[in-house]
Structure 1
Amino acid sequence: MSTLTGTRHLVRLILRRDRVLLPLWVLVLAVLPMSYATSFFELFPTAAERAAYAAGTARNPSIVALLGPVYGESVGALTAQRGGFLLVIIALASLLTVIRHTRTEEEAGRRELLGGTVLGRYAGLTAALLVTYAADLLLGLLTAAGLVATGLPAAGSLAYGLAGALVGVVFATVGGLAAQLTETAGGARGIAIAVLGAAFALRLAGDAAEREWLSWLSPLGWGPRIRAYEGDRWWVLALPVALSALLAAVAYPLSVRRDLGAGLLPPRLGPATAGESLAGPFGLAWRLHRGQILWWSVGFGLLGLILGGAAKAAGSSVEGNPQLEQIMTRIGGASGLAEAYLGATLSLAGLAAAGYGIQAALRMRSEETDGRAEPLLATGVTRTRWLLSHVLFALVGPAVVLAVTGFATGLTYGISVHDVPGELPRMVGAALAQLPAAWVLAGLAVLLYGLLPRLAGVAWAVLAVCVLLGQLGAVLELSQWLLDLSPFTHTPQVLADHWHATPLWLLTAVALLLATTGLTAFRRRDLPTT
């Protein structure tokens, strides 16, 4: 029997299981660069306007730290820089996909079941990597095709698309290696995300401080240095290919030197008896969710510091472009271009917080399918208390994340305009204004879990639609009724001079109705439902 026997069948199984989620993140991430290019064509029609924008961007260390350097004044160069943070998202999606189909499968016991058939020892890891590699490459090609369709040069578009694809390949392999090191999927995700965070920190430090050598140490720094549309340095693509091969050469031997279900790193043993905090379902839910709340808060706090520091310069960079001033003011309110920029970026933070709410709500589904919910519900714990313990964090988690984002943004922006006491509460309020819309999507996830648990993952598709409507709605001039399908369309711009709180109360009522309906449906259906 070959070491790869059964790989083809596992690939088909992965594609079957990810038939919704995989195409979803590929299509969303492929469309966003095209929207950036279309916007730049419309907002900066002349070379002088593009040059002024590029110069203002290059002078701002906060923008460079978040997005990366800009290497030219063409629409292509500006698009490549604007899509710099997408490399982080591609890397995150890739490593999570690999871990889901390797370590998560072992932890759930499904890998052992498959191992009892005719299956080669390298088949599981190979299938997960092949599917993720293929998704990354498809993403790169779709991105390139979309950019060419907007009018950008084909060579630069392909260079940009392949840069993102190969960053995904690198971190997919990082996920495969991390899956060999620990016996839990959470531990593998923690290791892989820590590597991603270190890579982002290196790139950020190198670009913000203009220390090129630091950025060259990070795989996230290689993408911008291909210089798509400004020279197209194809040789840089060899770096992620070589690193991926090296990581795979380490991961494969480790995958067969450990016991099935075990990791190379010894597990940290907990106390022999549970503390009082684990006496009820809410204490257990806190134990399960606290790590996510902590790391999301840290990440969004750092993001808020960068966004707040860039706000003043972002407002200055569009002065002199009447069309862009009008659009930015419409997006963020009439109280100034900097506030318009902050309103737009905080709305994106709201979308991300909705992602946290969906993730927290769907934790119930994984607890059920992994067989951990049924033993709890066989005790005195009622279904209502168990579900509410998780719903609580699906509602509180986004609030914490957005509050931290608003606080960090208000702090750095207040320092830049010398008005911390005035700007801090304004930015916290503007961030929390996104909360009811995020709650609507979390409530939808609860509804789907309680009513149609197999379709609970559709909540991610709804979030993707909201992202596309927000990013492409104005560019494509979509009808207002279509834009109104997104709850974020109804979020008032509280940084504007005049706004009304009525939409916030209505969105909150919708979220509560969805969650309550989901709870009622969950109490009436069988457990587990497959």
Structure 2
Amino acid sequence: MTAVAAVSAVPRTSFGSTLTGTGRLVRFMLRRDRVRLSVWTLSVVAFYAYFAVALDAMGPQALAARALVMETPAGIVMGGPGYGIEDYTVGVAIANEGITWVVLALGIMSVLHVVRHTRAEEESGRSELVRAAPVGRHAPAVAAIITLFVVNAIIAVASALALYGASGESMPLADSFGLTVGSGLAAMVFGAVAVVACQVSEHSRGATGIGLAAYGLALVLRSAGDIQERHGSLLSWFSPIGWAQQMRAFVDLRWWPAALSVVAIVLLLALAASLASRRDFGGGLVATRGGRPQARAGLRSPVALVWRQQRSAFAWTALGMGLMWYASGTLLPEILEMGVSGAADNEMFQAVFGGSDPSVFRDGFLGAMMLFAALACAAYAIVMAGRARAEEVAGRAEVVLALSVSRTRWLGAHLAVVGLSTVALVAVSVYAMWAGAVQVGMDEPGLAAYTDVFWTYSVALLVFLGLSAALYAWVPRLTSAAWLLLVYTFVVGMFGAIFDLPEGAEAISPFYWLPAGFGAAPEAANMVGLAAVTAALLALAFVGFRQRDLQSS
């Protein structure tokens, strides 16, 4: 009776009290992620502006050729339902070819942002300290969604204005907003999925995987639906990506499909709130399966442990990149034919790709494609190199280092796994494109040329890993500064000839030292120099990591 009376005496928790402290958490999250979110914002806005300028410079003939490519099955998978193909303007091209990738970028940002401020905080124990203050149960998740909405709104507004300005006002402002707002709302759906996943999974990696898998499922549904029927079938309407494309920006703008994203976000957040009220703090609805009482013999080394932590991310990344570059390879004949015709009267194209001669343009264009593939692999190297810092901040590195494992061996295990995985991704990207090109009868350049690209690009990519490792070892909080080199490399690689940059400025990019032509023989001195830079950065990383104290925050 006493226990019953005590329970009945506890006041019911009001909805308002579960949101206590939300405003302060919003300000804290924005301040904590101000650099990270600024980089995302500038990158997406720059992508929109670059895409608009590049397409406008191609001219009507080249745009018409692109429209033909977008009507092929591979073009539909990578693009969309094909609204406005008959009159393929710059705005129509951006809507057809850009939405899938913009939603992918914003979706990744949304999933990572939500998991970082909810499940990852619970997993590390920091959320428990925050909840010890007057902070409601749902406040962290609601604050994460509010900050995510603010960032997506800023990106949508800035991107629409960038499109409107970069096009010389040829793209109506209303359609520009329709494109960017629709893409932002579609990405927010995946952020809401991540909130639900954080209630289900006990670990941040599992929640991130569920959120990214939701995008993969949405892409499959949209692609299958668009292939079944021109302008999309019923299956297309089960995908948030399809909702953004069905707004028909720059063709026949309609706003009501955006309401589907809003409804989905509201329903997913309501589901997440219900699930959050039914689980224990720090746990997930799906209990973690009990492990073996003793580790396998293969796990008794730092390398095996790191590989087990990263193998899923590597496998899914390799699968996605393999499929993407294989599909790109199957489109090469049409794209090259289109590009050669467009480069004949376009000085910008000739500057970027080396000329209008078919063989020269082919090598220049393939080099640009491989640059994109290599930068994607560089991004993987930077992200995975950051896992060492995540292990340190979470306190797990300290536990491992308390055993008979030296700092050099622990850091070396991380760098070895990331380095080998990055090289493997380069191989997947290069040879998948080669296989796709061979599949459609494009036998030149041959396998030997692709192999030359593989090993030379692998040497250059390890510089990014070395820089990330050195920053982590000496100034852990600046580890993400390695992204600046990646962005700089992209700008120099794509626009160096147009901007007429000094040779010293271009030499900062590791890819400046690679052969100019696709598959051309590299200079031995350049390759030795890149390897020496990588070795120096890695040596600097080992020295710095042995000297500094471990950090737990």
TM-score bin, normalised by smaller chain:
over 0.9
| 1:26 matched residue in structure 2 | 41
Q: Which residue identity does 2:435 align to in structure 1?
A: L
- Assess if the C-alpha contact under 8 Å between 2:354 and 2:364 holds in 1: yes
CA–CA separation in structure 2 for the residues paired with 1:16 and 1:297: 34
2:194 to 170, 175, 188: 175
CA contact (8 A) 1:38 1:475 kept: no
In the alignment, which residue of structure 1 is the partner of 2:274? 253
How far did residue 323 of structure 1 move? 3.9
Match of 1:38 in 2: 53
Q: Identify if the C-alpha distance between structure 1 residues 394 and 182 changes in structure 2 by more than 3 Å, giving closer, same or farther.
A: same
**How many Å apart are 1:513 and its aligned residue?**
1.1
Is 2:392 the counterpart of 1:377? no
Code of the aligned partner of 2:138: Y
- How far apart, CA to CA, are the structure 2 residues paired with 1:399 and 1:521? 25
Cα distance in 2 for partners of 1:466, 1:144 equals: 26
Amino acid of the residue matched to residue 149 of structure 1?
G
Deviation at 1:224, TM superposition (A): 2.3
Contact 1:430 1:495 (C-alpha < 8 Å) held by counterparts = yes
The answer to whether structure 1 residue 400 and structure 2 residue 424 are counterparts is: yes
Kindly indicate whether the alpha-carbon contact (under 8 Å) linking 2:69 and 2:331 is maintained by their aligned counterparts in 1.
Answer: no
Match in the other structure for 2:3: none
Change (3 A) 1:333 1:110: farther
5 Å-filtered alignment, 1:83-482, equals: 83-84=98-99, 85-150=101-166, 151=168, 152-210=171-229, 212-213=232-233, 214-321=235-342, 322-323=344-345, 326-327=350-351, 329-330=353-354, 335=359, 337-417=361-441, 419=443, 423-471=446-494, 473=496, 480-482=503-505
Tell me the equivalent position of 2:527: 504
Q: How many residues align?
A: 526
Query: Quick one: which amino acid aligns to residue 510 of structure 1?
Result: V
Report the TM-score when normalising by structure 2: 0.89
Q: In 2, are the aligned partners of 1:346 and 1:431 still within 8 Å (CA)?
A: no
Contact kept, 8 Å, 1:58 with 1:70, in 2: the verdict is yes
Q: How many angstroms apart in 2 are the aligned matches of 1:71 and 1:472?
A: 31
Deviates more, 1:21-30 or 1:82-91: 82-91
Hey, what's the Cα distance between the residues in 1 that align with 2:66 and 2:420? 39
CA distance in 1, matches of 2:259, 2:462: 44
Amino acid in the other structure paired with 1:399: V
Instruction: Classify 1:477/1:253 alpha carbon distance in 2 versus 1 (closer, same or farther; 3 Å).
Output: farther
| CA spacing shift, 1:309–1:354, aligned 2, 3 Å | same
- Cα distance, 1:467–1:261 mapped onto 2, change above 3 Å: farther
CA distance in 2, matches of 1:481, 1:251: 53
Amino acid at match of 2:127: R
Q: Which amino acid aligns with 1:371?
A: G
Deviation at 1:263, TM superposition (A): 0.7
1:330–1:210 CA distance, 2 compared to 1 (3 A): farther
Q: How far did 1:418 drift?
A: 5.9
Aligned in 2, Cα 1:204/1:148: closer, same or farther, shift over 3 Å?
same
Query: Following the alignment from structure 1 to structure 2, what is the Cα–Cα distance between the partners of residues 231 and 475?
Result: 35
> Which aligned pairs between 1:5-24 and structure 2 lie closer than 5 A?
5-24=20-39
TM-score by length of 1: 0.93
Does the C-alpha gap of structure 1 residues 504 and 90 become closer, same or farther in structure 2, counting only changes over 3 Å?
Answer: farther
Larger radius of gyration: 2
Q: State whether structure 2 residue 513 is matched by structure 1 residue 490.
A: yes
Give the unaligned 5+ runs of structure 1: none
What secondary structure sits across from 1:226 in the alignment? coil
> 1:204: Cα distance to partner?
2.5
**Residue range with higher mean Cα deviation, 193-202 or 458-467:** 458-467
1:61 aligns with 2:73: yes
CA displacement at 1:384 relative to structure 2? 0.6
User: The residue matched to 2:261 in structure 1 has which SS?
Assistant: helix
Instruction: Return the alpha-carbon distance in structure 1 between the equivalents of residues 279 and 498 of structure 2.
Output: 52
Aligned twin of 1:4: 19
Partner SS state of residue 417, structure 1: coil
Give yes or no for contact 1:440–1:511 (8 Å, CA) kept in 2.
yes
Structure 2 residues not aligned, in runs of 5+: 1-15
Kindly tell me: are residues 27 and 261 of structure 1, through their superposed partners in 2, closer, same or farther at Cα, counting changes over 3 Å? same
Could you say what secondary structure the match of 2:250 adopts? Answer: coil
Deviations 1:406-436 (A, max 9, x none): 221111111212649x734433442443223
TM superposition shift of 1:175: 1.0
Partners of 2:333 and 2:442 within 8 A in 1: no
| C-alpha distance after superposition, 1:287-345 (max 9, x if no partner) | 11212221111111111211111111111223422145635642999735454433222
